[in-house]
Amino acid sequence: MLSGKHILLGITGGIAAYKTTFLVRLLIKAGADVKVVLTESAATFVSPLTLATLSKNPVHTSFVEEGEEGSVAWNNHVELGLWADLMLVAPATANTLSKMANGTCDNLLLATYLSAKCPVFFAPAMDLDMYKHPSSKASFKKLQSFGNIMIPAASGELASGLHGEGRMAEPEDIVNFLNHHLSKDLPLGQKKVLITAGPTYEAIDPVRFIGNHSSGLMGCELAKRAAQLGAEVILVLGPTHLSLTDSQVQVLRVTSAEEMYQAAHEHYADMDIAICAAAVADYRPKTIADQKIKKQEDEFTIELVKNKDILYSLGRQKKKQFLVGFALETENEVENAKGKLKKKNLDAIVLNSLNDSGAGFGKPTNKITYIDKNLRIKTFDVKTKAAVALDIFNEIIASIHA
């Protein structure tokens, strides 16, 4: 949500200002471009040099700054306000909130706030009795009537030693609040998406397993795309070297088909969309040896039993969910995919053919055919898996809003 966004962070003079170093770091990590404006009192709590280093931008504290050899530079509050995609005042003290609410303009931060045309968020930080005071409540109400968005204070130990409401929201919670708010207007805003991805490994003994060549890349790209479209995502990921760091994506690591089955079913009831992109092993060894099996016989037989069919089971339990499966075929591709679509009670199926160049396991590209429950067929060219993920979600979104 924050990637590529211009965020103007206003820091006021409260003890919670020390947390803004962590906040700037998280915003930068989320892909935002951050500029910081400090009040003079805030600079006594947190170093402008530290914030400038973390944000990789100059930090401003006053309208006029003296440079070397007597030069003077003017910090243009109008340009700062127009530059920002969103402005965040954190911590927002009772003093600054009162000034914001009443149009007082006696420092650079307040002048920038009054010039900003972007959404403005504020995170109050003050002691318990100050937070509850009628004047503070009046400031909160008035600012929200202007369209400003309040990030509620948390309860906890305060600088005074009291315990109660007024503690500034933690940096992680502020970033999550921004992500959640910005996602509301996106195509999958406030939607929950479950994705299974990667292979499963079925143990033979403590050393060996039955598996496949799936890297999990297609499922990971689907998870990233869903998050970019505003969804809250749960990714059930089989054993793979891939990792995903996105505050909108919860990654559940599993190894076997049974573990994937349990994880998918645990969360399925709350989902709006479920996409089963994992290459789940159809069979597993009937017995797993406790010790490594020694090489003795010229021939060795492993008795296999069928794993539970995750997609079929989810289809039987489907209520509100839009359920999508994947089919990897080598012959009679379309007819086999249509059969799976109907048998498993799916809303759509994504067909891969190993006969298509650029498709299959372990490749950065894929070539798909998308078939919906009305048997409408749409074939796409070879694309990167990131682009394929967008194609899939475009089809899903079109169906949901049809």
SS3 306: strand
Phi–psi pair at 86, nearest 5 degrees: -155, 150
Structure tokens at 315: 């289809």
The catalytic position among 212, 336, 345, 394 is: 212
Residue 59's H or E segment, with its range, is: strand 59-60
Sign of the CA dihedral 130, 135, 136, 137? positive
Residue type, 324: V
Cα–Cα distance for residue pair 132/205, rounded to 1 Å: 63
What DSSP designation does 287 have? S
Structure tokens at 132: 């509850």
Which residues share a beta bridge with 164?
A: 156
Angle made by CA atoms 177, 179, 180, in degrees to the nearest 5 = 65
212 catalytically annotated = yes
First to last CA, the chain: 26
For 71, other C-beta atoms within 10 Å of its C-beta total 8
Active-site positions read: 212
